[in-house]
Structure 1
Amino acid sequence: MSQRSRSVALIATTALAAAGLAACSTPEPSPGVTEDTVTVGTHTPLTGPAAAGYSSISAATKAYFDYVNDNGGINGRNIEYIVKDDGYNPATTSTVVRELVQEDEVFAVINGLGTPTHSAVVDYLNENDVPDLFVASGSPKWDQPDTFPNTFAYNANYIVEAKALATYAQETWPDKTFCVLGQDDDFGTDFTTGLVQVLGADGLASTQTYSVSVQDVVAQVGAMQAAGCEVNFLATVNGFTALALGTAAKMKYGAQWVSSSSGGDYPTLVGYLGEDVAPLLLQGFVSSNYLPFSPDDAWVALFQEINDEYNDGAPFSGNKIYGMSVGYLFAQALAKAGDDPTRESLLDALEVGALTGNGIVPLGFSTDSHAAFEGVGITVVDEGVQDYVDGEIYTTDAGNGPVEPYTGEAVALEGDGIPTA
């Protein structure tokens, strides 16, 4: 063989080797991604004790995805959304999430609902490298990047909510007696921790808990009445918020009620209490929120239109805004993940801090933080309308950091509410 022939052969061999390496380095398609679709899933209570308060969330998320799909999808792909009912039962959650991962082969799990329920699957999702996005719970445990690198929160942290609500209560009712009724799990414990950070170790005259399996809070409300509680904080799901207020009314016990956002949606509470009674019982009711909420907000108007067209005109509520806001944030992350999204590029999109969501306060996502909204605004019900109190928006952390007023702008609606890269 001539020198030229040997050189040509060497070049050809080198080229083939390089081509082989390039082929080997091409990332494998992630589960749930095809040329035309991205499939995601969730676990949520469509039945059981929490269903009446939360079953409408996933329907609203699906309505938003249907709207996106009818308008070209995200980077040319439609979003397919699989909803599994877990009945707010952790054992069932484990079963249905394994179905989503092993049988449905979802790209990601988004907005799995509940602290006790999602706690049953967070290890499994991280061990299997499944993006576990926007957990529908304010527990601080979702913000542990070193322990759960695939898990990102959505709700404002319960401690953050409680610190903001306690600050507002101290400023508004400085001489009143404060108490709390909380769920007997991390929800109630974390919320109470936040209250104590602001009010002090002796700042609560009575601390009561309830179980979602027992539809009776007469003993708890009676204990609060006996303790002289004048301002009662609630770490309750919507059904138990209504149960507490209804029970107090029957006992002729008047108090100021201040609720976590998880149990503070006015239209949902009206559904429990009835249209005749609710406006009376809920007058002055205080809650927190971090999403667009005001009746004249552009996001609210868009979501109302989507609800009317894609959700069979179901009654519009804060849960619908929540569900569609989750859908928007996932669509934004998917758009940022690139034309050929992988699970890795999706997680990278969250950690670079490029996502804004549509909240009234900033998102906290970064490499070091998987917490979502870094504060809350205060809402009050007045004559049947729940809206933000002007100037009452606070930011803080889940530790001992100060509670500070937030004066930044809410995220404005752009275009048709469908994110692009």
Structure 2
Amino acid sequence: MLTVCNRAVLPIAILAILMVAVMTGCEEEVGNGELSQGVTEDEILVGSVGPQSGPFAFMGSPYYAGMESYFKTINEEGGVDGREINLKVQDDEFEPDNAISGMETLIYEEEVFAIVGQLGTPGILATMDMVREEGIPSVYFGGGASEFREAGENFFPVQPIYDYEGKLMAEYAIDEFDADELVVIYANDDVGQDGLQGIKTGLEEMGREDALDADREISFNPGDTDFSSQIQLARDQDPDMVLLYALSDDAANILGDFEDASYEVPIMTTYSNTDDSFLEMAAPQAPQVMTELYSLGWLEMDEQALQPLNDAMEEYYPDEPINAYTMAGWVAAETFVAGLEEAGDDLTWDGYIDAMNQLHFTEGLAPEISYEPGVREGVTHMSVSEVVEENGEYRFEQVTDFREFGE
């Protein structure tokens, strides 16, 4: 077997030529075909960058356990066409500079075939130009920034894009909750601004701009600890529903201030908060407010759909929680593998990208994943869940079917 990826000591002129091959996705001769870097007769090496330590490890730990549990399950069944999938993860601690160095390690030193499930919007945005220029396939983002839609032909987002979710959130509020007047409380960052813009676009396309005016767009700065002024502004508007576009601790603290103000109104929040770990943060602060909390979701969470994940986690990672992050990691892995199966023997970067452009995948936890050249929207089918309390325990329960905006 002759490979151009071997970095043994060579004359400088030859080494320079080979470095060009490495930078463009080196190919090796295996059997009767050409394979891109990271692929051998018995292995497909993939990489990811995301937080495994630091304050955001609570996301990364179950996320990568879910991803690994899927790959281990596939490998136990013989892999994909006899090739096992092995994952290398670089810990970026949710820091963009660390994400850049981690991505360089994966592409140029580890020489992975693809990036799978990069986690964290700051790191994804920091490395996007590098990944685009190299042309290496990148499947699934652990984030929903609008820039992901325009990242490039070698990128395949799966999670819903935040501004699209905002459109659907507005539609659900109007159609399912008969809300005539809305208030939006949003983080003054890329996530919150994308969500707000989506809500406004959705209302405009529905002909319901009257449901939200500028006085009802209430912002806060991420990291704030006192939201009493935002709560009072919302109360003064007397809305039929509040749309809360905030993540994690911020969203939980805002709900706590709703509770402190004894202000109960239906609230709908982003899919990023549709998770048991969020309920564990929020419910102690806002036990009454939680009973009027709704959220969007994009995963099939019924018992039958989750059984393969539950079985795999019990076998490989019994000490890790099974939550929305675990499910997201599982979906990242199964989407990548669906692309491998579509590509068949053509495991070059171009071959894999062409296969993903033909993908129409409906067998996983997400209701539908499909792409075509130039279209990178992510999942567009979403449902609404409500928070249900039983014997002091809170859980999300799906209350609508999955649908797209405008259906």
TM surpasses 0.5: yes
Matched with 1:268 is 277
What pairs up with 1:389-404 in 2 under 5 angstroms?
A: 389-390=399-400, 392-396=401-405, 403-404=406-407
Give the aligned residue type for 1:165. M
- What is the match of residue 16 of structure 2? none
CA contact (8 A) 1:270 1:278 kept: no
Partner of 1:283: 291
Compared CA separation, residues 337 and 264, structure 1 to 2 (3 A): same
Q: Which residue of 1 aligns with 2:268?
A: 258
- Of stretches 228-237 and 307-316 in structure 1, the one that deviates more from structure 2 is 228-237
Change (3 A) 1:82 1:163: same
2:171 and 2:351 map into 1 onto residues whose CA distance is 39
Displacement, 1:311? 1.3
| 1:302–1:280 distance in 2 versus 1, CA, 3 Å | farther
> Which 10-residue stretch deviates more, 317-326 or 222-231?
222-231
Give the C-alpha shift of residue 363 in structure 1: 2.3
- Name the residue aligned to 1:180: 184
User: Sequence identity of aligned pairs in percent?
Assistant: 25
> Which residue does the alignment assign to 2:9?
none
How many residues were matched structurally? 367
Q: Is the 8 A contact 1:183 1:235 kept in 2?
A: yes
Q: Would the alpha carbon gap of residues 308 and 206 (structure 1) be closer, same or farther in structure 2, given more than 3 Å must change?
A: same
Residue 206 (structure 1) aligns with: 216
When residues 263 and 142 of structure 1 are mapped into structure 2, their CA distance, relative to the original with a 3 A threshold, is same
Change in 2 beyond 3 A, CA 1:248/1:279:
closer
Residues 325, 360 of structure 1: alpha-carbon distance in 2 compared, 3 angstrom cutoff: closer
Q: Are 1:235 and 1:263, in contact at CA under 8 Å, matched by a contact in 2?
A: no
Displacement after TM superposition at 1:95 (Å): 2.0
CA contact (8 A) 1:116 1:185 kept: no
SS in structure 2 at match of 1:29: strand
Cα distance in 2 between the residues matched to 1:43 and 1:213? 24
Matched residue, 1:104:
110
Give the 3-state SS of the residue equivalent to 2:315 in structure 1. helix
Residue equivalent to 1:371:
377
Flag the 1:46–1:218 CA change in 2: closer, same or farther, 3 A.
Answer: farther
Displacement of 1:218 after TM fit? 4.7
RMSD after superposition: 2.6
SS of the counterpart of 1:35?
coil
CA-to-aligned-CA distance 1:146-204 (integer Å, 9 cap, x gap): x6121111111222222222122113443564222323333212211121123344533
Q: Secondary structure at the match of 1:287?
A: strand
Q: Are 1:54 and 1:319, in contact at CA under 8 Å, matched by a contact in 2? A: yes
Seen in structure 2, the aligned counterparts of structure 1 residues 102 and 213 have a Cα distance that, compared at 3 Å, is farther
Specify which of 333, 351, 354 is matched with residue 348 of structure 1: 354
User: Which among 230, 237, 241 is matched to residue 231 of structure 1?
Assistant: 241
The alpha carbon displacement at 1:382 in A equals: 2.0
Q: What's 2:13 paired with?
A: none
Gaps of 5+ in 1: 1-22, 397-402, 405-421
What TM-score do the two structures reach when normalised by structure 2? 0.81
Alignment of 1:314-393 (within 5 A): 314-339=320-345, 341-356=347-362, 358-359=364-365, 361-383=367-389, 384-390=394-400, 392-393=401-402
* Structure 2 counterpart of 1:180, one-letter code: V
The letter of the residue matching 2:395 is V
Q: Distance in 2 between matches of 1:290 and 1:84?
A: 27
Inter-CA distance 389–173: structure 2 relative to 1 (3 Å threshold): closer
Encode CA deviations 1:318-355: one digit per residue, 9 max, x unaligned: 22222212211111111222246222221111001344
| Residue in 2 that maps onto 1:418 | none
Query: Any conservation in 2 of the 1:217–1:247 contact (CA below 8 Å)?
Result: yes
Amino acid of the structure 1 residue aligned with 2:103: V
Between the aligned partners of 1:92 and 1:209, the Cα distance in structure 2 is 30
Determine the structure 1 residue equivalent to 2:130.
124
Which digits, 9 at most, give the CA deviation of each residue in 1:268-310, with x for residues without a partner? 1133246x6676442242111122112x3x2212211111111
Distance, in Å, in 1 between the alignment partners of 2:336 and 2:371 is: 13
Letter matched to residue 364 of structure 1: S
Q: Relative to structure 1, is the Cα distance of residues 213 and 352 closer, same or farther in structure 2, using a 3 angstrom cutoff?
A: same
The answer (yes or no) to whether the contact 2:42–2:83 under 8 Å persists in 1 is: yes
Q: 1:214 to 1:43 in 2, by over 3 A?
A: farther
Q: Could you say what secondary structure the match of 1:369 adopts?
A: coil
1:216-270: CA deviation from partner (whole Å, max 9, x where unpaired)? 54554454345445522122223322222123223333232211111222x1113
1:163 to 161, 167, 170: 167
Query: Structure 1 58/214 Cα, relative in aligned 2: closer, same or farther at 3 Å?
Result: farther
Alignment TM-score, normalising by the size of structure 1? 0.79
Residue number in structure 2 paired with 1:306: 312
Q: Are residues 352 and 340 of structure 1, via their aligned partners in 2, closer, same or farther at CA, if it must alter by over 3 Å?
A: closer
C-alpha distance in 1 between matches for 2:313 and 2:50: 19
Deviation at 1:108, TM superposition (A): 1.0
Tell me, yes or no, if structure 1 residue 40 matches structure 2 residue 50. no
Checking the alignment, whether the CA contact within 8 Å between 1:351 and 1:367 is kept in structure 2 is: yes
Structure 2 runs not aligned, ≥5 long: 1-28
Q: Is the 8 A contact 2:342 2:359 kept in 1?
A: no
Mapped to 2, the partners of 1:239 and 1:161 lie a distance apart of 20
Secondary structure of the 1:370 match is coil
CA shift in 2, pair 1:355/1:176, >3 Å:
closer
